[in-house]
Amino acid sequence: MAPERPAPARFAAASIGVDLPVVRTGVSDDGLMQLPETNREVAWYRYGSRPGDPAGTTVLAAHVDTRTEGLGPFARLRQLRRGAGLAVTDATGRTRRYTVTSVADVPKSRIPLDQLFRTDGPPGLTVLTCGGPFSQQTGYRDNIVVTAQPTR
């Protein structure tokens, strides 16, 4: 069995001015991916793939905003364009680069979780935040879903 790859430690999307630390998370009490309290940190779903794994998707997510901090850096995810570069640096300092293949505004009711959180198939990166209209009762209606492939 191959040794476990180091966990991601930093996420950057230079074209939109995002460069944030990554923290390891799991599942929250409501059954969703756990996110940090602050919008100045990015969550990595620790039960999924790691950058550099031969298969599966590395999933990163952060709050678009918080009540105390207002809009955070991930509010700019929707500005990413196909072909933009992303970088994930692991705990040893090794940086893996990705190229954005799509940016989509997807209703939360139609998020294809099995595709976004897959552990098989070709390696990839999925970056998520909330988007679409906001309701005080239900929160954001959509997710901004950025998918990227390793840069060769």
pLDDT at position 1 is 56
Average pLDDT over residues 77-99: 97
Position with higher pLDDT, 43 vs 31 = 43
Q: Is the pLDDT assigned to residue 113 strictly greater than 90?
A: no
Q: Is residue 122 part of a domain?
A: yes
Cα→Cα distances 74→48, 58, 131, 144, Å: 21, 17, 10, 9
pLDDT in tens, 86-96: 999 999 999 99
Cα→Cα distances 152→3, 8, 98, 117, 149, Å: 23, 19, 8, 22, 9
Strands 70-71 and 8-13: unpaired
Average pLDDT over residues 21-30: 94
Q: Is residue 15 part of a domain?
A: yes
pLDDT at position 4 is 81
- Our count of domains for the chain comes to 1
Q: How confident is the model at residue 32 (pLDDT cuts 50, 70, 90)?
A: confident
Q: Is residue 79 part of a domain?
A: yes
Q: Is residue 36 part of a domain?
A: yes
Give the C-alpha separation, 133 to 139, whole Å. Answer: 8
Q: Is the pLDDT assigned to residue 54 strictly greater than 70?
A: yes
Q: Which residues constitute the domain of residue 112?
A: 8-150
Q: Is residue 3 part of a domain?
A: no
CATH number at residue 47: 2.40.260.10
